[in-house]
């Protein structure tokens, strides 16, 4: 299967280098990616997370919370939405048959509206907690305004199968050996990574928000930027589970060798390494990784 790396609108948090580790000044806003995958299969396209969507770009205040708009100030550019990048690659929105969601935070689910014919897959517990809207922060992060395609959602229960020693769910029967949802709770209760077997040997594991910065996967001295460490603490639903899953991912990175690439959603260093381009440049036809 051919896999395209898409950055579906960067977030630009206050504090610059405190978040992304590379913006020259603390007084400038940083740049965090929203790393999504587009998978070409013989039975149509599979999109892994959606980032922000067209409606978010057109009218962000009607769909996103004032709190996160101020804190993250997304760089709303229509050409960076998943649907526009998919079109640049020579496909149509209707070619997307399935969408796999790591979780339902606003910066991962905003593009669901742009694919009204796709079946959307997620863990059951993620749907249930997002719908419950129990706390103030839940109401800021889980935005029903983005869920016009809720009738297309299909939910899955975790456990029962294994992927690289971790619990997994195989949501697409036709691709059971090639695509897996890997429960990695902590950031949200139903948070999951998505594993995709790429052309030839090897796997990609989008760990989504299980971690936020590449050096968190260093075995001997894991570390994170101060801003992202704070953000993870602020957003976490289960701290013990989050830290345990980070440790499991570090062990996976250490032991897996060259047959596995683990990366998260928001690290621009990881995106550039895998996509071969700056996060601010949309995907173009023939740019395939």
pLDDT for the residue 289: 43
Among 203, 193, 121, smallest CA distance to 157 is for 121
Q: How confident is the model at residue 125 (pLDDT cuts 50, 70, 90)?
A: very high
Q: How confident is the model at residue 200 (pLDDT cuts 50, 70, 90)?
A: low
Q: Can you tell me which residue has the tokens 């997620």? A: 122
What percent of the chain has a predicted confidence (pLDDT) above 90? 87
pTM: 0.95
pLDDT for the residue 158: 77
Polymer length in residues for the chain: 289
Query: How many C-beta neighbours within 10 Å does residue 166 have?
Result: 18
Look at residue 287 and tell me whether its pLDDT is greater than 80: no
Q: What mean pLDDT is predicted for residues 192-211?
A: 92
Give the residue, 77 or 1, on which the prediction is more confident.
Answer: 77
Q: What mean pLDDT is predicted for residues 201-211?
A: 94
Taken in order 225, 226, 231, 232, the sign of the CA dihedral is positive
234 burial (CB, 10 Å; 0-12 / 13-18 / 19+) is exposed
Mean of the per-residue pLDDT values for the chain?
94
Could you write out the DSSP letters of every residue in the chain?
Answer: -EEEEEE---B--TTTHHHHS--S-TTS---B--EEEEEEETTEEEEE--BS-HHHHH-GGGTS-HHHHHHH-----GGGSHHHHHHHTT--GGGEEEEE-S---HHHHGGGGG-TTSEEEEEHHHHHHHHH--SHHHHHHS-GGG-TTGGGEEEE---SEEETTEEEB---GGGTTTEEEEE--SSSTT-EEEEEEPSSS-EEEE-TTS-SSGGGG-SSS----HHHHHHHHHH-S-HHHHHHHHHHHHHHHHHHGGGEEEE-SS-HHHHHHHHSS-TTS---TT---
Q: How confident is the model at residue 285 (pLDDT cuts 50, 70, 90)?
A: low
Q: Where are the domains of the chain?
A: 2-275
Superfamily of domain 2-275 in the CATH hierarchy: Ribonuclease Z/Hydroxyacylglutathione hydrolase-like (3.60.15.10)
pLDDT tens-digit map of 144-171: 999 999 999 999 997 778 999 999 999 9
Q: What mean pLDDT is predicted for residues 264-269?
A: 98
Query: How far, in Å, CA of 122 to CA of 17, rounded?
Result: 33
Taken in order 58, 234, 159, 170, the sign of the CA dihedral is positive
Query: How far, in Å, CA of 181 to CA of 170, rounded?
Result: 6
């Amino acid at each position: 299967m051919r896999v395209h790396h898409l950055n579906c609108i960067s977030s630009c948090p206050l504090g610059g280098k405190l978040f992304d580790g590379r913006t020259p000044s603390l007084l400038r806003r940083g740049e965090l990616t929203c790393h999504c995958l587009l998978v070409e299969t013989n039975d149509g396209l599979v999109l892994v997370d959606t980032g922000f969507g067209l409606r978010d770009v057109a009218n962000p205040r009607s769909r996103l919370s004032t709190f996160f708009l101020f804190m993250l100030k997304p760089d709303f550019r229509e050409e960076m939405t998943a649907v526009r990048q998919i079109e640049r690659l020579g496909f149509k929105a209707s070619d997307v048959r399935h969408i796999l969601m790591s979780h339902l935070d606003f910066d991962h689910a905003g593009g669901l509206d742009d694919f009204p014919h796709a079946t959307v897959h997620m863990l059951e517990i993620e749907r249930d907690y997002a719908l419950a809207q129990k706390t103030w922060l839940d109401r800021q992060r889980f935005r029903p305004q983005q869920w016009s395609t809720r009738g297309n959602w299909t939910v899955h229960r975790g456990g029962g199968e294994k992927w690289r020693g971790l619990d997994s769910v195989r949501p697409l029967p036709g691709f059971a050996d090639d695509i897996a949802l890997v429960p990695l709770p902590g950031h949200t209760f139903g948070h999951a990574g998505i594993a995709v077997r790429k052309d030839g040997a090897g796997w990609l594991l989008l760990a989504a928000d299980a971690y936020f910065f590449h050096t968190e996967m260093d075995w001997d001295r894991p570390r994170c930027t101060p801003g992202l460490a704070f953000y993870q603490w602020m957003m976490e639903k289960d701290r013990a589970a989050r830290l345990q899953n980070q440790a499991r991912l570090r062990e996976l990175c250490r032991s897996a060798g060259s047959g596995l690439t683990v990366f998260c959603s928001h690290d621009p260093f990881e995106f550039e390494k895998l996509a071969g381009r700056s996060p601010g440049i949309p995907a173009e036809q023939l740019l395939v990784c």
